[in-house]
Amino acid sequence: MAANFTTDWLDTGDNAWQLTAASLVALQSVPGLVVLYAGIMRSKWAINSAFMAFYGFAATLIVWVLWAYKMGFGIYMLPFVGRPGPVVTMAQELGQSCLPSAALCQNFPLSTMVYFQFVFAAITIVIMAGAFLGRMSFRAWMIFVPLWITFSYTIGAYSLWGGGFLFQRGVIDYSGGYVIHISSGTAGFVGAHWIGPRLAADREDSRPNNILCVLIGAGILWIGWNGFNGGDPYAASADAGAAVLNTNVATAMSLLCWTICDMIYFKKPSVLGAVQGMITGLVAITPAAGVVAGWGAICIGFASGTIPWLSMNIMGKKVAYFRKIDDTLGIFHTHLVAGFVGGMCVGLFATVEGCAAFGLTNPGGAIEGNGKQVYLQLYGALFVIAWNMVWTSLIMCFIKYVLRIPLRMSEAELLAGDDAIHGEAAYVLGPCEAHEHLLAGHYIKRSETGPGELGMGGAIIGHDPHAGAAHEKSAAGNGAGSSEIKHD
């Protein structure tokens, strides 16, 4: 057996950190957001919500290695996209990572870079799914994922990171505030428009079925963000350390500000509100993590804990159009708004030292006398928003009108939830049907099954808790017990 060997370009420390950072980001999706989605939705949607994230992660990887990676990070084809192609040979996987359009090479193999960039593409899809939970057809989702990665995500990735026109113009997106968060927030909101709303009952009572699961997912998300932002210098460098510290400072500040806003406005601190504040802090610091100083991270945390709070709790509830669009988890506010805030803060607070440490030639932001950077950041954000609005709409219309696949589940599926769609249940608590209605999110299944029978539908969704009383009343009125209960 041939001995292991290293090459002149390989830095084992950089490679080890890059693989670690990639694994941390992967854990944010699976199990992080899988668990968070399962807990934050009603119990009737726990399986479907988790599975949408699980499927999206897997489908993205196959698309990525077959053609999408090279569209985002390969040889120039157009100013906004690279030439598609596979990365599946051993020679490719063992070769040095280079970004030809950006004229950059890294001290680790291409296989490491492909995986690192994949987990970013995957979490973008998983985040977007949060806007569609509770009603999108799973078949439509299966088709949407590869199409959106191909025609939308790769465009932002190449334009900003792969050496495309926004990269060349000097727009700064340190780790995905634009490529990931503005794109997922825009696509989620536009997609929610095309899919349509959840059932009225689901929207009116959207209490989570397990807040502790939400906190577990949130914790994985927060700590995993150390790899999210710390991995983007493509080296175990000083700037990676600065990015990790700034990420946590901004997130903590944002969580505190959101909680204080909740206490002032709603008179109570909310765990779910704190999670939202955590997410907006993570999102807002992402485009800026390694190019701003610690005080800049605090300012970004303050902005991300207040502006998206106002967007979600004031504008989102008082503006008619935002009430009409059923963005299930508020992805518009937590990702598009927060990502936009973070991007603008880059234009304001980027430092010369931070840009140089990241390998950029930009002379900082407005605080360094470079007010032009604010305009560049706005230009980049508007391009990402516009592209995703158009292409998300085109993909949704293609699925609905060309492939003739409904975007929204049938009414029967919407009423039943996981049982009708997957034939599985998140919680099977035993034969005591009389108490299943107490589970948050379980609805009465209108069926002909008698109250004494134990079928999968009954065990998952729960029979009418008043069925027994109605049965007894009917028996008393008729002088005899009937074996059937008539439903309205």
Per-residue pLDDT reduced to its tens digit, 363-422: 999 999 999 999 999 999 999 999 999 999 999 999 999 999 999 999 999 999 888 989
Query: Residue 454's pLDDT is what?
Result: 32
- The confidence score (pLDDT) of residue 427 equals 83
Q: What is the pLDDT of residue 392?
A: 98
Query: Which residue from 180, 226, 177 is spatially nearest to 350, judged by alpha carbons?
Result: 177
Q: Within 13 Å, how many C-alpha atoms sit on residue 444's CB side?
A: 11
CB 356 within 8 Å of CB 295? no
- pTM to 2 decimal places: 0.86
Ramachandran angles phi, psi of 96, nearest 5°: -70, 140
Cα(238)–Cα(41) distance, rounded to whole angstroms?
A: 40
In this structure, the chain runs to a length of: 488
Gap between the Cα atoms of 34 and 289, Å rounded: 25
| Residues in the chain with pLDDT values less than 70 | 1-5, 429-488
Rounded Cα distance, 373 and 292, in Å: 13
Residue 426: its pLDDT value, please? 85
Whether the CB-CB separation of 154 and 59 falls below 8 Å is answered with: no
* The predicted structure's pLDDT at residue 438: 52
Which long-range contacts (C-beta less than 8 Å, at least 24 apart) are formed by 479-485?
A: 483/450, 484/448, 484/450, 485/450, 485/451
pLDDT at 291: 96
Structure tokens at 83: 């030439």
Burial string for 317-347 (b: 16+ CB within 10 Å, else e) reads eeeeebeebbbbbbbbbbbbbbbbbbbbbbb
The answer to whether 190 and 384 are in contact (CB under 8 A) is: no
- Contact indicator for 455, 480 with CB cutoff of 8 Å: no
Q: How far apart are CA 153 and CA 168, in angstroms?
A: 18
Q: Tell me, what's the pLDDT at 488?
A: 36
In angstroms, the CA 115 to CA 21 distance is 10
DSSP-assigned beta bridge partners for residue 99: 104
Phi, psi of 11 (to 5 degrees): -105, 110
In 3D space, the residue among 290, 284, 330, 291 whose CA is nearest the CA of residue 306 turns out to be 284
